[in-house]
């Protein structure tokens, strides 16, 4: 049975937050708190937090910590971001890995704020094996999800088992109907709520105000790398009209005919712009050091193949380390077989100069390099658009081209 009124089970814990953590107390005002008899413990559905009968039996300090845990889920928009990732990745999306990543960030934040949680609990330290004080500032849910997805292997069973041993259980849902993301504050509203709440916490010096670090998971506008790649490919392979020197433009013919009738001088010559354009070419270079996780590589090739099919572009894929080891034409209709047949050895050094030398011979419309940007560069910038696709946290700024993070 579900009560549409404000939760009675959570009232005491939420009232205590006003004294213990003004930031969380302010954020709780923008969440829906409901008692739900069919819920074990406490769960988040969209902007609604549901408190089950078991929640009322917990000690007060654990009630406060768990309420803060789910308030942060809502404030950081984990349910709506979960839905966005599901729409973006489709069948490849693993909702349990996503919830593990979100729980690790939220639990680490709650514990660092001085609150208690049932032990054991999954945190950034238990997942990453490090106790870095800057971890909360370095990781957001999307980047941690891709890191865990790649590290967990094909089945990702051991990772999930480790998380469950540390107290993890799924308790997050995008919600439907009145609990859906559109029924509450939107992304811009939550950024404002979070900014004001964090300022209130810092002024009070309590709870979240004691963190002394920036939360890397604070929601902010992001453009998915797939969209950035599509725009770059469209601009790079766009066929621009070129003049035909010996063919007059229609406008010139009209002006010349009018001038001839009036006995005036003909206008300046204007060439036609309907010259046939060569088929656009793309070159994709894969660093053989294996810096790009296999799932991310598969998604990248799917996006590239789709664009190549739509733009009717010819794609050449090369695998390189200190030299080019393999070169193959990418068939947009059979990119999975092409990717499966590519030899991708790991290890060894990296030298970008042979790739740019080969690009000078092929003369593509654009060059994409999937790499960690660690290796010798050519002395001069090439005369073609270059896109560096990386999966590293901190990468050096390249001397030319644009960097695309595949962690977004």
Q: Two tokens at 312? A: 């009717």
- pLDDT tens for 146-164 read 888 877 655 567 888 888 8
- 180 φ, ψ to 5°? -70, 160
**Mean pLDDT, rounded, for 44-52:** 92
Using the 8-state DSSP alphabet, how is residue 269 labeled?
A: P
SS3 234: helix
Q: Average pLDDT over the chain, rounded to whole?
A: 82
**pLDDT at residue 397, rounded to an integer:** 82
Report the alpha-carbon distance of residue 2 to residue 16 in Å, rounded: 24
pLDDT at 214 exceeding the cut of 80: no
Q: Two tokens at 7? A: 């939760």
**pLDDT at residue 153, rounded to an integer:** 57
Where does the pLDDT of residue 179 fall: very low under 50, low under 70, confident under 90, or very high at 90 and above? Answer: very low
Torsion angle, alpha carbons of 190, 192, 198, 202, to 10: -170
Question: What is the CB neighbour count within 10 angstroms for residue 110?
Answer: 26
- pLDDT tens for 83-115 read 888 887 777 888 999 999 999 999 999 998 999
Q: What is the CATH number of domain 281-405?
A: 3.40.50.410
H-state helical runs in 205-271: 225-236, 250-262
Closest alpha carbon to 27 in 190, 187, 183, 180: 190
Specify the pTM: 0.69
**pLDDT at residue 182, rounded to an integer:** 44
**Mean pLDDT, rounded, for 319-337:** 80
Which residues, in sequence order, are CB contacts of 277 under 8 Å at separation 6+? 239, 240, 241, 242
The rounded radius of gyration (Å) of the Cα atoms in the chain is 28
Domain boundaries, the chain: 11-220, 249-277, 281-405
SS3 372: coil
Distance of CA 266 to CAs 49, 239, 256, 257, 289, Å? 78, 31, 5, 8, 64
State which H helix or E strand residue 163 sits in: helix 157-165
pLDDT at 177 exceeding the cut of 50: no
- pLDDT tens for 113-135 read 999 999 999 999 888 877 676 78
């Amino acid at each position: 049975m579900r009560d549409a009124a404000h939760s009675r089970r959570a009232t005491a814990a939420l009232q205590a937050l006003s004294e213990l953590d003004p930031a969380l107390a302010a954020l709780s005002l923008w969440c829906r708190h409901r008692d739900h008899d069919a819920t074990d413990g406490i769960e988040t559905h969209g902007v609604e937090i549901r408190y089950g009968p078991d929640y009322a039996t917990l000690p007060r300090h654990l009630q406060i910590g768990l309420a803060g845990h789910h308030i942060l889920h809502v404030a950081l928009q984990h349910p709506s971001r979960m839905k966005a990732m599901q729409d973006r990745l489709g069948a490849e999306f693993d909702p349990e890995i996503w919830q593990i990543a979100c729980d690790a960030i939220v639990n680490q934040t709650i514990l660092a704020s001085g609150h208690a949680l049932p032990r054991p609990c999954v945190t950034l330290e238990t997942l990453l094996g490090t106790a870095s004080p800057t971890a909360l500032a370095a990781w957001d849910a999307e980047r941690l999800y891709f890191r865990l997805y790649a590290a967990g292997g094909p089945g990702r069973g051991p990772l999930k088992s480790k998380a469950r041993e540390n107290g993890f259980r799924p308790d997050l849902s995008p919600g439907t109907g009145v609990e859906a993301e559109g029924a509450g504050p939107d992304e811009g509203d939550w950024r404002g709520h979070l900014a004001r709440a964090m300022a209130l916490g810092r002024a009070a010096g309590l709870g979240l105000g004691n963190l002394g670090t920036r939360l890397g998971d604070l929601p902010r506008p992001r453009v998915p790398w797939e969209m950035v790649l599509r725009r770059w490919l469209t601009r790079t392979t766009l066929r621009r009209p070129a003049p035909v020197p010996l063919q007059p433009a229609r406008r010139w013919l009209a002006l010349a005919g009018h001038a001839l009738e009036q006995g005036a001088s003909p206008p300046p010559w204007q060439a036609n712009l309907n010259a046939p354009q060569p088929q656009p070419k793309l070159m994709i270079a894969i660093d053989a050091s294996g810096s790009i996780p296999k799932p991310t590589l598969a998604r990248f090739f799917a996006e590239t193949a789709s664009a190549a099919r739509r733009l009717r572009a010819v794609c050449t894929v090369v695998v390189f380390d200190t030299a080019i080891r393999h070169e193959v034409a990418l068939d947009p209709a059979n990119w999975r077989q092409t990717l499966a047949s590519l030899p991708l050895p790991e290890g060894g050094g990296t030298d970008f100069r042979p790739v740019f030398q080969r690009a000078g011979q092929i003369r593509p419309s654009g060059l994409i390099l999937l790499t960690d940007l660690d290796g010798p560069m050519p002395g001069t910038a090439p005369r073609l658009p270059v896109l560096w696709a990386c999966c590293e946290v901190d990468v050096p700024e390249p001397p030319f081209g644009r960097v695309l993070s595949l962690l977004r």
